[in-house]
Amino acid sequence: MSRSAHPAGPRHADVLPEGRSAASAAPAEDLNALDPKVWAHTVGRDADGVVTVGGISVTQLAEEYGTPAYVLDEADFRDRARAWRTAFGDDADVFYAGKAFLSRAVVRWLHEEGLNLDVCSGGELATALSAGMPAERIAFHGNNKSPEEIERAVRAGVGRIVLDSFQEIVRVAHIAQSLGKRQRVQIRITVGVEAHTHEFIATAHEDQKFGIPLAGGQAAEAVRRALQLDGLEVIGIHSHIGSQIFDMSGFEVAAHRVVGLLKDIRDEHGVELPEIDLGGGLGIAYTSDDDPREPHEIAKALTEIVTRECEAARLATPRISVEPGRAIVGPTAFTLYEVGTVKPLDGLRTYVSVDGGMSDNIRTALYDAEYSVALASRTSDAEPMLVRVVGKHCESGDIVVKDAFLPGDLAPGDLVAVPATGAYCRSMASNYNHVLRPPVVAVRDGAARVIVRRETEEDLLRLDVG
Ligand SMILES: *Cc1c(COP(=O)(O)O)cnc(C)c1O
């Protein structure tokens, strides 16, 4: 694994800053402060200096639910979901990307807050349906949906299936027709734009597994074929350009190219497709160095871009949908760990080992992601020390927070919290080293409850049938 891997994969390594991360440049002025940018809304410290969320202290949570644990601020989740919903209003649709983190409680909150849901596997579909999400509010994604998954989705009546290949166009049409149905579909295209953080790359081609390339007329050919099939109702074009994006200019190029395709479709087939989905990937603050945009700013920018492009092409503005995952759930949770060992390495840094690691947060090892960390069970006035927070796995790449500062008197038994772990941590968690996956504890208005329980050794042994 390349040490400079980028969140989007090794080919983007060149857009990362050189050397040590910004987080290690200098300690924050007050190590006890909790930057509201990276912590959920209700997080603070009580009179004793203990971190609290939703009115409950982390020491209480640790005592009741153990560590490590993902602690999710339900009010914050609902606030963010509602902010997205309100920002886009009634003329657009917000689909929460379930892969960021999905559980039945989350599905209910989304339903109650008026959001739709993206799923990309039979398991995610089953979770969504079992928690009562209306099928017509579910979109089914993926580059290799099995025939069984497609059939389940069509039978359930999902609102849209996002088609990802020529073979899938025929497959879904065939399955829908054999069930006597006409399935609403979008066609996912790749527009030659990849956006990450503050950079984007616009090219003619995209070398990736998702979608059908706009280049070479392939996307137009896909639409041509789909329009001819009785089992399909083609409702729009889908484009998803990247992850952890702060800069809107990548969306601008993508929208321009998608609208160009809509225009070609109109000119060739006399059909104006009514929807355009611009995907997700909107960035959040993992550390104080990140400056994400508010949902209303993003909604305004995207709506303006699409409207402008459509006016230029003399098309009626299609209904827009977006698919934020991380931007809703990412900041709502932190991971609570107990410190096990503190190992100073002279002239280098201090290694702080916690009771979880790459099994509950693979993003640091996988993407070189940056996180911050705070001493949560108390405050301290001790001098800052440069630390690396590592897990308990048999793997030297088992790093949770690569560079950060914690108080110099940190000791075994202290609780530390890593914020902004709501997205792609529990959902990517593994059993490496037969370490048990932590629970997700939701906190709201002074009450805590487990929404995903801690894995047990029994769970492990149940799968191992000898
Ligand atoms: C992953 C994904 C998203 C969500 O990405 P975030 O970075 O969590 O916002 C949305 N749409 C599609 C198609 C995706 O693959």
Residues framing ligand 1 (Cβ under 6 A): 97, 99-100, 118, 141, 240, 243, 279-282, 323-327, 423
- Ranges in the chain, pLDDT < 70: 1-24
Please list the residues that pair with 243 across neighbouring strands.
196
Element (H, E) at 388: strand 384-390
Structure tokens at 39: 């912590």
Q: Where are the alpha helices (DSSP H) in 270-388?
A: 295-312, 326-329, 363-367
Atom of ligand 1 nearest to the CA of 120: 15
pLDDT for position 6: 38
pLDDT for position 11: 41
DSSP code for 100? S
The residue whose CB lies within 8 Å of the most ligand 1 atoms, and thus the one to mutate among 323, 328, 363, 367, is 323
pLDDT for position 196: 84
Give the residue, by CA position, lying nearest to ligand 1 atom 7: 281
Question: Of the candidates 258, 360, 301, 291, which has an alpha carbon nearest to the alpha carbon of residue 37?
Answer: 291
Q: Which residues fall in the annotated binding site? A: 281, 323-326, 363, 367, 395, 424
Question: Of the candidates 393, 73, 38, which has an alpha carbon nearest to the alpha carbon of residue 81?
Answer: 73
Element (H, E) at 66: none
Give the residue, by CA position, lying nearest to ligand 1 atom 3: 280
- Decide: 415 and 58 in contact? Cβ < 8 Å: yes
Question: Of the candidates 249, 295, 286, 298, which has an alpha carbon nearest to the alpha carbon of residue 367?
Answer: 286
CA distance 118 to 161: 10
pLDDT for position 204: 77
Q: Which residues contact 356 (CB under 8 A, 6 or more apart)?
A: 67, 68, 335, 337, 391, 392, 400, 435, 438
Q: At what angle do helices 147-156 and 166-178 cross, to 10 degrees?
A: 50
Domains within the chain, CATH numbers bracketed: 44-73+331-463 (2.40.37.10), 141-324 (3.20.20.10)
Atom of ligand 1 nearest to the CA of 240: 13
Q: Give the distance (Å) from ligand 1 centre to CA of residue 321.
A: 12
Q: How many CB atoms lie within 10 A of CB 18?
A: 5
Q: How far is CA 224 from the centre of its chain?
A: 32
Q: Give the distance (Å) from ligand 1 centre to CA of residue 463.
A: 30
Max Cα-Cα span within the chain = 71
Give the residue, by CA position, lying nearest to ligand 1 atom 15: 240
Q: Which residues contact 96 (CB under 8 A, 6 or more apart)?
A: 81, 110, 115, 116, 117, 118, 323, 324, 325, 328, 329
- Decide: 182 and 176 in contact? Cβ < 8 Å: yes
pLDDT for position 23: 53
pLDDT for position 205: 79
